[in-house]
Structure 1
Amino acid sequence: MSDSDVTVSIFERIGGSATIDHLVESFYARMDALPEARPARSVHPEDLTTTKQVLKRYLTEWTGGPKLYSVEKGHPRLRQRHMHFAIGDAERDAWLLCMRGALGETVTDTTARQDLDQALSRLADWMRNR
């Protein structure tokens, strides 16, 4: 097997667990601080402690790291889990605003950041239900 046959996950490319932790903390700090984030922040609980932990576990697994989410929660079924929240363009855009700011702050590898941004943008767009 040559080096070109080895696929490096986004999780590894961005710096692993430490980066995921920082990304999620930065993301929710932006959600709390930016007035433009209100549409997305309003669908979250006031206390974000559990929400942060769930997102950290989800992103770890989703980016190719250890399976931390599915062993606890099963298949993500993201649309189903979020269906009781009204998610339209405003909520998607607010979520992406916070996530892109957090990505810019935490992911130093430009190509990995762009790849992750594209994947998260598709995911956010797919989550719309209104």
Structure 2
Amino acid sequence: MSDTVEAVPMFERLGGAVVIDRLVEAFYRRMDTLAEAEGIRAMHADDLSQTKHVLKRYLTEWTGGPKLYSVEKGHPRLRQRHMGFAIGNGERDAWLLCMRGALEETVADAAARDEVYGAMAKLADWMRNTAGNPHDTAGHAARP
């Protein structure tokens, strides 16, 4: 018998599919209502149904849950998929503001919440694509 305790996937630490669903809904509710998020909300379709569906599937897989996103979409290629949008510090900060609030609202485990936010902050920083922003174009998205 091994003395090693198998690590609990972040997906489970967060609360599974129910919490991922609530997180995404809370995130887009903030994007719809916060003045600071007006610019990034304008980058999205009026109807967020498909966008929410995709983010829920992505976050499920990204946090170690079932592989739902890659089966549908393949490799995330997040920077490539977002290159049509100018993403600078302001957009990054607005996205993170919405996500931090959503995490605080939906994730009870403070350590898990902080760990996920830290990984998302790195990812959001890496997504910047406006001129003058240094980033690693060969890098990979940080995982919690």
Deviations 1:26-67 (A, max 9, x none): 000000001111121111111100000000000000000000
- Aligned-residue CA RMSD in angstroms? 1.0
1:49-60 counterparts in 2 under 5 A? Answer: 49-60=49-60
Residue of structure 2 in register with 1:77 after alignment: 77
Q: Which amino acid is the alignment partner of residue 118 of structure 1?
A: G
Question: 1:4 and 1:93 mapped to 2: Cα distance?
Answer: 39
Q: Structure 2 counterpart of 1:97, which letter? A: L
The answer to whether residue 61 in structure 2 is matched with residue 61 in structure 1 is yes
In 2: Cα distance, 1:22 partner to 1:4 partner: 33
Q: What is the DSSP-based 3-state SS (H/G/I as helix, E as strand, rest coil) of the residue aligned with 1:51?
A: helix
SS in 1 for 2:75: coil
Q: Which runs of 5+ in 1 are unaligned?
A: none
Q: Percent identity?
A: 68
State the TM-score, normalizing by the size of structure 2: 0.88
More relative contact order, 1 or 2 (CA 8 Å, 6+ apart): 1
- 1:80-119 alignment runs, 5 A limit: 80-119=80-119
Displacement, 1:9?
A: 1.0
| Corresponding residue of 2:31 | 31
**Does the residue aligned with 1:128 lie in a helix, a strand or coil?**
coil
Deviation at 1:3, TM superposition (A): 6.3
* SS state at 1:21 partner: helix
CA, structure 1 residues 109+129, in 2 after alignment: closer, same or farther (shift >3 Å)?
A: same
Which AA in structure 1 matches 2:22?
A: H
TM-score by length of 1: 0.97
**1:90 to 1:8, Cα distance in 2 relative to 1, 3 A:** same
Query: What is the one-letter code of the residue matched to 2:89?
Result: D
